[in-house]
Structure 1
Amino acid sequence: MSKIQDFIHNDIKEHPEAKREYEQVSLNLDASVLIREMREDLGMTQKEFAKYVGKPQSTIGRIEAGSMNVSIGLIDEIANAAHRKVKLVLI
C-alpha cells in the first residue's frame, strides 16, 4: 500500500464520516481521466468538445480538473452525446 493509501485508510478509521468524501474525490478523478481521454481521442479542444456534447466549456474544464462532483448521469449524458457507452464495473 502506498503512503497516501495508508493515510486515507487511517483517516477513515479515525473519521468514518470522511469515507464518502474520499469516494467522491476518487470518482471525480476517474471521471477526469475518462472525459479527457474521450475528448483527446476525438481530437478536440475543451471548447469544441463542450459544444459537441452540449455542455458548457466550464463544465468540461471542471470535470477534467477533478474539481466537479460528477454523477453517473452526467457522465452518461456526455458519453451518449459523444456516441459512446458507459460501462460500470464493480471491483
Structure 2
Amino acid sequence: MSRFTTMCIAAGLAAAALVTAVPARAGYYIIRWDNTGVCQVWSEAFAFKPIQWPSGYKVVSHPVPTFNDAFTLQVRLRQQGRCTL
C-alpha cells in the first residue's frame, strides 16, 4: 500500500474511535405550552426545536434517559396540577 492510503485508513480508524467514544445525547424532557398548559414529551434526538407559534413553551423538567421515564414524569406533573393534559 502507498503511504497516502495507509494514512487515510489510519485517519478513518481514528475518527471512528472518537465517534464511538463520545456518548450519545439522547434523552427526553417535558415542555409546557404557555397558552394551554399542556405538557409534552420532547426528545433531544430531534434536530429541531418546537415551533413557538402561536404560543411559547418552557422546559419544566430535567432530561431523563428513557421515554417511559419521561411519560411517568409527565403523568406526575399532571397529577400535581402543573399540566392540564
Name the TM-score, length of structure 1 as normaliser.
0.29
Structure number with higher strand proportion:
2
Larger relative contact order (C-alpha < 8 A, sep ≥ 6)? 2
Structure number with higher helix proportion:
1
Name the TM-score, length of structure 2 as normaliser.
0.30
The structure with more radius of gyration? 2
